[in-house]
Chain A
Amino acid sequence: MRQHHRVSENLAELADAELVDAMAAGDTRAMDVLYDRYSRAVFSFALRLLGDRAVAEELLQEVFFRSWRQARKFSEGKGTFITWLLSITHNMAIDEIRKQNRRPQRADSADPVLLLTNMTDGAVPVEDQAVFRTVRDQIATAMTLLPETQRSAIQLAYFSGLTQREIAELQGEPLGTIKTRMRLAIRKLREHLVDQGVELQ
């Protein structure tokens, strides 16, 4: 059993799992630390998916509120805390997009690589940039190496919430072609990440 009694000593130095345990025991100070650690990543992703700051902030609040209520269910065996948060964010945002049947941005203007190329980190603290910059650079580089059709497939599926059938209709391609494209895209992405030395095991 992890020792969440140490929480009072120095919260900021504790690992995520220990803070989640403390949070499950009702300690809002642990929640405070986790929020400071990951709210930017969650908000950035929410904003990327929804395209609206106000809605993204609502989602941010909901995601962390759920993590507070469901902290006891978090299992390290099923991934890291940030992965868990981002998974909740994605599920809720895509549900919302599909429910509203709205697409946040046109596919061609929302290419993740273009967005990252043109972005500025000016508003983000230096330490925050350092935490996520490496992984962002790696995934962005891997994406640039994909053929445009495969990159587009990931974009439409993951960021715009379109189903395979909808993508097939939108692109005027057979469903089977889209399925194959999706499969190849993720496999190629994996290869490119591994080539960069990203540990995926």
Chain B
Amino acid sequence: MTHQHPGPDASHGAMNTDCTFFQENAEAFALDVVEGTERSRMEQHMLWCGPCRRGLAEIRRVTDLLPFLSPPALPSPSAKARLFERIAEETTDDAESIATFSNPWIPTTPVDRPERAARKGVQTGAWQRWIAPGLIAPLVICLIILSAWTNSLRNEVSMLRSAEASRASAAVGAPPQSDMQLYAFRPACEKCKEKQAAGQFGGNPEGSIGVVVAWDLDPNEKHQVWCVDSQGQKRLVSDLEVEQTGSVFQAVSFPEPIGGYEQIYVAQHDGTADPAAELMVAMNEEHEVDALDATPGDPVTD
């Protein structure tokens, strides 16, 4: 796997030492036997190096065939039944009242989706009468929780700001900064039909520490914080420790001041160097939730 390095790629000119390192380890990477810092180095490199990324894809066309070396075997029929029972449980939990459930293993009575009913000219008033309270109640609960989270976040950010400001003051003998910002994460997964994750991001644009607060993430998935820098390059920043409730409250250290990034986003780790964003904040847009303009140590109030 050799290449002349046209760059993102072009700006990088000739093939550099990272490319050489990548090429020496690409086969091992595809076999998933590269560890620790070497793996991180390769993942970082892949984010911006198109030729190496394509080279790895070629290698994976070979390693993708290795599973077929397995002797054929049949799972028991009960494995399928268990799977569909599990799906049925989740489906009915999440959207019992609106989904057209067609599990072949569990007989159900089909229910028309509202849009289908509308197309067919069916009266939807009764459906709306019942579903509206069902939607409003969770919304109210969410707003209450959001308010609690926001207050909690403000206190946390304020503490972080105080600590950072104190360190800065001690270092340069200057008055502490007080321009902490809160940004609303916006759902970036447009195709998601199920419950969307939501959250906020807080931090001093001039500083390199941010706080991620989010909820309704899938606790069974590994989540990460990524950023897009001013050159448009995606970078992995940190893993997130999502609680079983699906929420996370975590301070994250960025390599550069957060105000310099184009985007900061949360993504599910899918084993690729380009995971789809689930929650995203564009740092240069006018959309911050709030600006904490109190001086450090002042009480934060609504």
List residues of chain A with CB within 8 A of the CB of B100: 26
The verdict on B130 contacting chain A, using a C-beta distance below 8 Å, is no
Are A26 and B71 within 8 A (Cβ)? no
Does the CB pair A79–B31 fall under 8 Å?
no
Q: From residue 188 to 204 of chain B, which have CB atoms closer than 8 A to chain A?
A: 189, 191-193
Of all chain B residues, the one with the shortest Cβ separation from A91 is B271
Flag if B63 contacts A45 (CB, 8 Å): no
Please determine whether B65 and A28 come into contact, CB atoms closer than 8 angstroms. Answer: no
Does A164 lie within 8 Å of B102, measured CB to CB? no
Q: Which residues of A contact B60 (CB under 8 A)?
A: 79
Question: Across the interface, which residues of A come within 8 angstroms of B70, CB to CB?
Answer: 44-45, 47-49, 112, 115
Q: Could you tell me how many residues of chain B have their Cβ less than 8 Å away from some Cβ of chain A?
A: 57
CB contact between B75 and one of A43, A69, A154, A158 (< 8 Å): that residue = A43
Q: Is A57 an interface residue (CB 8 A)?
A: yes
Interface contacts (Cβ under 8 Å), in number, total 180
Which listed residue, A53, A64, A86, A119, touches B71 by the CB 8 Å rule? A119
Interface residue from B71, B75, B82 paired with A48 (Cβ < 8 Å): B71
Asked if B241 lies at the interface with its beta carbon under 8 angstroms from chain A, I say no
Contact present for B69 and A136 (CB under 8 Å): yes
Q: Bound complex: CA of A183 vs CA of B59, how far in Å?
A: 10
CB neighbours (8 Å) of A121 from chain B are 72
Cα of A10 to Cα of B254 in the assembled complex, Å: 51
Chain B residue with minimal CB distance to A188?
A: B62
Q: Does B15 contact A (CB under 8 A)?
A: no
Q: Check A6 for interface membership: any CB of B closer than 8 A.
A: no
B132 lies within 8 A of chain A by Cβ? no
Q: CB-CB < 8 A to A140: which residues of B? A: 69
Does A105 sit at the interface, judged by CB under 8 A?
Answer: no
A162 within 8 A of B: yes
Residues of chain B within 8 A of A45, CB atoms compared: 67, 70
| B interface residues with partner A (beta carbon < 8 Å) | 24-28, 30-35, 58-76, 79-80, 82-84, 86-88, 90-91, 95, 99-104, 189, 191-193, 218, 268, 270-272, 276
Given known contacts A61-B79, A186-B27, A187-B27, what 18 new A-B pairs fall within 8 Å (CB)? A26-B91, A41-B67, A43-B79, A48-B67, A57-B76, A61-B86, A65-B83, A72-B193, A79-B60, A79-B64, A90-B32, A112-B66, A157-B31, A164-B33, A165-B35, A186-B63, A189-B62, A200-B58
What 8 A-B pairs come out closest when comparing CB atoms? Answer: A48-B70, A119-B71, A112-B69, A186-B27, A43-B75, A45-B67, A44-B70, A124-B72
